[in-house]
Amino acid sequence: MSLQMLKHFFNPRSIAVIGASVNPHRAGYLVMNNLLAEGFNGPIMPVTPKYVSVHGVLAYKSIEQLPITPELAVICTNEFRIPEILHALGQKGCTAAVVVTTENEQKTAAEIYALARKYKIRLLGMSSLGIINPHTNLNASLAHCGALKGNIAFVSQSAAVCTTVLDWANSKQIGFSAFVSLGNAQDISFAELLDYLARDTKTKSILLYVDSIADARDFLSAARAVSQHKSVLVIKSGSSLIGAKAAALHSNGRFGHDSVYDAAIKRAGMLRVHDLHELFAAVETLAYSSHLHGERLAVITNGGGLGILAVDNLAAMGGRLAELDIELLAKLDSCLPSNWSHNNPVDMIGDADPKRYAAALTHLMDSDQLDAVLIMHSPSALSDSENSARAIIDVISKHPRRKQINILTNWTGEAAAKPARALFAQAKIPTFRTPKGAVTAFMHLVQYRRNKKLLMETPASIPDHLVYDIKAAAECISQNVNPQSLSARLNTYQAKPILEAYHLNTIETVVVNSSEEALQKAAVIGFPLAVKINSPDIEYKSQVHGVMLNINSREALKLALTEIKQRVAAFLPQARLSGFTLQKMLAGGLGLELRVMIKQDPIFGPVIAVSQESDARDLHTTLENAVVALPPLNLALARYLMIQGIADKKIQIKRGIQEFNMDAVCLMLTKISQMLMDNPEIKDLDLNPVLVCADKVTILDGQMQLSLAAEGYLNQFAISPYPKHLEENTKLKNGQTVLIRPITPEDEGRHQVFDAALTEEDRYKRYFSQRGKMTHEEMAILTQIDYEREMAFIAVRLDKHKNQETLAVIRASIDPDNREAEFAMIVRSDLQGLGLGNILLNKLINYQKTKGTTYLTGMTMLSNVGMATLAKKLGFSVERDIEEGVINMSLALQS
């Protein structure tokens, strides 16, 4: 892909409309009309053999007759003509086209995209409504109206949602930086548009309407990159299974499970809204709100009932009401009647006038006890609605803290409230018709802030004594699955070596072939015990009630074995019995039972799910009742998963259970994630139940499905896993061995120590200025990297306490086209001259070559002679820019 090429869609210098028409009911008429009405400043060239001119613009009979090559073509003809049109556009040299035609035949669509690839023409569509860029007076669309200028970009797979949002936004005077209808997104994708909009200075926020995603890893990489700097909100259709199938059909895509989409959206730092009502609230909030600095909400109202409704909604959504201190209450006392509420919500009584609203708001905005204010008003003969709005607008516009405090308004009613709401919209202050709408909008800001904060959390390090036996796990897997045996299903006993290689505890288990052997082994194991059926034909033991617990004697076991056989004969008479599994019952009180799974999603690949639903079998039901995360997991992400599960009531910790140890469960989930990363043959894992008793986590039963791993298996993960294969031990000039490896989120603390140990001179050379200690947020961005589009190698060694310490780092930021990677490097001041810089730069050069990057570039200060000398030695072209005071370094990586 090429972001440079996407500029032709957003800012073309010339446009050809293929199939332009004078018939008002034709697409070619609407596109021409919109281009002219918006005042596009460039040649508009209608192409049609039917007319001499369209809308007064001279028409051309064919693409070949066009006087210049159009930077953008809008194709409005019948589907069967598109192949010949693409051929002509390719011959003319046009590289960007919007296809507003709807495809009817999949075969024709395949031919169209193949031709586009042949001629290197990028296609927006098919079935696109078109594209609007108000800042360049571009409206190359079928929309019934134009868009106002603003800072929100809207990208949608649904043309109907596009027109609905556009109509609503115009009524609210909300503008856009871009308005893009993707159509079926078979060529230009969400990922490419996110990368482009991330660099667009006019865009501050991005809104996506998604039916389905085709390129999960590209999408998440682009989303994670842009959401570090700009807010991204997503409305995803298809929350139900039927809806998901319909959404996939609508965009010719595959359908994945909604809970997995939800997990992916959160993992990328985006915020999800669930319907058009929420979407409209989100658009208004994005358009007018400031960055939220905290979660404490104060409420001003002229009606107690309204305030209570707002507080109820806030509590139901997990929000936080600000606590007003004595000093602030005293100030409010001075300007409010004696019978005001004396609390938050601030009920100023039904006769509240503009002066009262202004005074109360001023005192609240002066205070550091809150982060946002919701101002409410109900129609009253005693209260001046319109002038109260004017007074509020005046206070906000003049207050020095207007950018620190978020303001939302809720003027209820219809005719009486309409003029006030219009004033707020004109003043760019979010306004809502209902208390719930206003609180929902506030909680959008809160949830977005929480998502960002949680994802920036530094994970704790895995305990040093946890050294996984990767070799033992691989040997067990290879014994069960190989080119001759492409797949295998293992029970808990068979999977035990794999699980134990990752320090996952299993209960004492014995597999027997007959009832007689079971009675013999029971005497060795001891009672109480559990007995379970073994059968190659029974995937879930619950199908036949094939598990019996708390068997306390030989006689009880004999009876249990007979009963299980009878149940199998009654429920599944065709099932083969291969024996039984005996397990010792755990002693020591009640524990929490969890079901932990690895499942394969059609869109996002392997996912990790946790639930307490023990009987669900099909993928949809299983994930619907579970809390889901995308691997790889670290301890912070595992904790986030469990907290979310408890908040959503999918994991319920009841009274009587032994003290629940969150850390133990999070460590278990992290182990399972690493097991999956190291062993791509694991396609399905169902540990059910997993018993949590205080800090002891034990797998009681489970199944593991293995399949032979395909080449390039790491690409099955939607998020690039840690590239362990890039770890390398090397020696310095003084003979000391150091480990060169990619950076991880757990390195943040060590990286902070490393950064602080640099001399002022070295810091100046690295950052081109004097700068203080890095904040947690800055350091998190440097250590929590996306290996798909950036890389940082660090050199580490063990200190005298056997802890790793960071000695040097080199990092490269790769553009989305993988054309150029820009590097920066620094070595700890007391270790310079030992060859570390040479080792790291060579490591990065080899990595970028393998990745297919075209150029590696860097910049350093004129005074950094050592860096320039090293670069020249390794083949970089080195140029000194005296005027800018820098040295530019560039290396061609591909022959």
- The tens digit of pLDDT for each residue in 251-263 reads 555 667 999 999 9
Q: Are 866 and 829 in contact (CB under 8 A)?
A: no
In order of 67, 310, 593, 743, the CA distances from 138 in angstroms are 21, 42, 58, 44
How large is the average pLDDT for residues 121-150? 94
Can you tell me the distance from the alpha carbon of 442 to that of 448, in angstroms, rounded to the nearest whole number? 10
C-alpha R_g of the chain: 32
CB-count burial class (<10 Å; 0-12, 13-18, 19+) for 694: middle
Can you tell me the distance from the alpha carbon of 34 to that of 44, in angstroms, rounded to the nearest whole number? 11
Please give the structure tokens belonging to residue 723.
């590239």
Predicted confidence (pLDDT) per residue in 843-893, tens digit: 999 999 999 999 999 999 898 899 999 999 999 999 999 988 899 999 999
Instruction: Report the greatest alpha carbon distance in the chain.
Output: 99
How large is the average pLDDT for residues 120-136? 94
Q: How confident is the model at residue 712 (pLDDT cuts 50, 70, 90)?
A: low
Prior bond to 742 cis, omega within 30? Answer: no
Which amino acid type is present at position 666?
C
The angle subtended at Cα 194 by Cα 191 and Cα 198, nearest 5°, is 145
Which amino acid type is present at position 61?
K
Can you tell me the distance from the alpha carbon of 829 to that of 811, in angstroms, rounded to the nearest whole number? 18
Q: How confident is the model at residue 617 (pLDDT cuts 50, 70, 90)?
A: low
Looking at the chain, the number of H-run helices and the number of E-run strands are: 28, 40
pLDDT surpasses 60 at 248: no
**Distance linking the first and last C-alpha atoms of the chain:** 20
Residue among 549, 588, 614 at smallest CA distance from 696: 588
pLDDT at 283: 77
Q: Which residue has better confidence, 818 or 895?
A: 818
Can you tell me the distance from the alpha carbon of 629 to that of 620, in angstroms, rounded to the nearest whole number? 15
Please give the structure tokens belonging to residue 795.
């050199």
Q: How confident is the model at residue 134 (pLDDT cuts 50, 70, 90)?
A: very high
**Residues ≥6 apart with Cβ < 8 Å to 272:** 233, 234, 235, 236, 262, 265, 266
Predicted confidence (pLDDT) per residue in 672-695, tens digit: 999 999 998 999 999 988 999 888
Q: CATH 3.40.630.30 in the chain, residues?
A: 724-892
Lowest mean pLDDT among 242-256, 500-514, 706-720: 242-256
Can you tell me the distance from the alpha carbon of 610 to that of 629, in angstroms, rounded to the nearest whole number? 9
Alpha helix positions (H), 367-460: 385-398, 418-426, 435-455
Q: Are 808 and 825 in contact (CB under 8 A)?
A: yes
The angle subtended at Cα 876 by Cα 871 and Cα 880, nearest 5°, is 80
Q: Which residue has better confidence, 709 or 618?
A: 709
Residue among 424, 386, 179 at smallest CA distance from 289: 424
How large is the average pLDDT for residues 626-654? 90
pLDDT surpasses 90 at 182: yes
Lowest mean pLDDT among 210-224, 283-297, 630-644, 837-851: 283-297
pLDDT surpasses 60 at 85: yes
- Look up the CATH architecture of domain 291-455: 3-Layer(aba) Sandwich (3.40)
Please give the structure tokens belonging to residue 192.
């490419």
pLDDT at 780: 87
Q: Are 703 and 685 in contact (CB under 8 A)?
A: yes
pLDDT at 710: 67
Q: What is the CATH number of domain 1-146?
A: 3.40.50.720
pLDDT at 262: 92
pLDDT surpasses 80 at 539: no
Q: Which stretches of 830-885 are assigned E, i.e. beta strand?
A: 855-861, 877-881
Query: Distance from CA of residue 309 to its chain's centroid?
Result: 32
Q: Are 358 and 366 in contact (CB under 8 A)?
A: no
Q: Which residue has better confidence, 138 or 215?
A: 138
Predicted confidence (pLDDT) per residue in 373-427, tens digit: 999 999 887 778 899 999 999 999 999 998 889 999 999 988 888 999 999 988 9
**Residues ≥6 apart with Cβ < 8 Å to 15:** 35, 40, 42, 43, 44, 45, 70, 71, 72, 73, 74, 140
How large is the average pLDDT for residues 65-88? 95
Q: Are 460 and 278 in contact (CB under 8 A)?
A: no
Q: Strand order of the sheet with strand 15-18?
A: 44-47, 15-18, 72-75, 96-99, 122-124
Q: CATH 3.40.50.720 in the chain, residues?
A: 1-146
Q: Are 806 and 827 in contact (CB under 8 A)?
A: no
Which amino acid type is present at position 815?
D
Q: Which stretches of 587-744 are assigned E, i.e. beta strand?
A: 592-601, 605-611, 627-629, 682-693, 696-699, 702-707, 728-731, 737-742
| φ, ψ at 339 (rounded to 5°) | -95, 20
Alpha helix positions (H), 367-514: 385-398, 418-426, 435-455, 470-480, 492-501
pLDDT at 523: 84
What is the four-CA torsion angle of 307, 309, 315, 319, rounded to 10 degrees? -60
Question: What percent of the chain has pLDDT above 90?
Answer: 56
DSSP structure class, residue 829: G
Q: How confident is the model at residue 464 (pLDDT cuts 50, 70, 90)?
A: low
Can you tell me the distance from the alpha carbon of 216 to that of 269, in angstroms, rounded to the nearest whole number? 15
pLDDT surpasses 80 at 453: no
Parallel, antiparallel, or unpaired for β 406-411 and 431-432? parallel
How large is the average pLDDT for residues 187-204? 94
Alpha helix positions (H), 269-325: 276-288, 304-316
Task: Classify residue 237 as left (phi > 0), alpha (psi -120 to 50) or beta.
Answer: beta
pLDDT at 259: 92
857 in helix, strand or coil? strand
Residue among 263, 251, 285 at smallest CA distance from 172: 285
Residue among 320, 408, 445, 420 at smallest CA distance from 370: 320
Residue among 788, 783, 844 at smallest CA distance from 812: 844
Can you tell me the distance from the alpha carbon of 146 to that of 137, in angstroms, rounded to the nearest whole number? 9
Helical axes 662-678 vs 470-480, angle rounded to 10°:
60
How large is the average pLDDT for residues 798-808? 86
Sign of CA dihedral 640, 646, 651, 657: positive
Parallel, antiparallel, or unpaired for β 627-629 and 592-601? unpaired
pLDDT at 250: 45
Q: How confident is the model at residue 231 (pLDDT cuts 50, 70, 90)?
A: confident
pLDDT surpasses 70 at 83: yes
pLDDT surpasses 90 at 481: no
Q: How confident is the model at residue 573 (pLDDT cuts 50, 70, 90)?
A: confident
Can you tell me the distance from the alpha carbon of 615 to that of 652, in angstroms, rounded to the nearest whole number? 17
Half-sphere exposure of 268 (CA within 13 A, CB side): 32
Q: What is the CATH number of domain 724-892?
A: 3.40.630.30
Q: Are 836 and 732 in contact (CB under 8 A)?
A: yes
Please give the structure tokens belonging to residue 879.
């140029």
pLDDT surpasses 70 at 122: yes
**Residues ≥6 apart with Cβ < 8 Å to 792:** 742, 743, 782, 783, 785, 809, 810, 811, 812
Q: How confident is the model at residue 360 (pLDDT cuts 50, 70, 90)?
A: very high
pLDDT surpasses 60 at 434: yes
CB-count burial class (<10 Å; 0-12, 13-18, 19+) for 382: exposed
**168 CB neighbour count, 10 Å cutoff:** 15
Q: How confident is the model at residue 638 (pLDDT cuts 50, 70, 90)?
A: very high
Mean pLDDT, the chain, rounded, equals 88
pLDDT at 465: 65
Q: Which residue has better confidence, 448 or 400?
A: 400
pLDDT at 756: 84
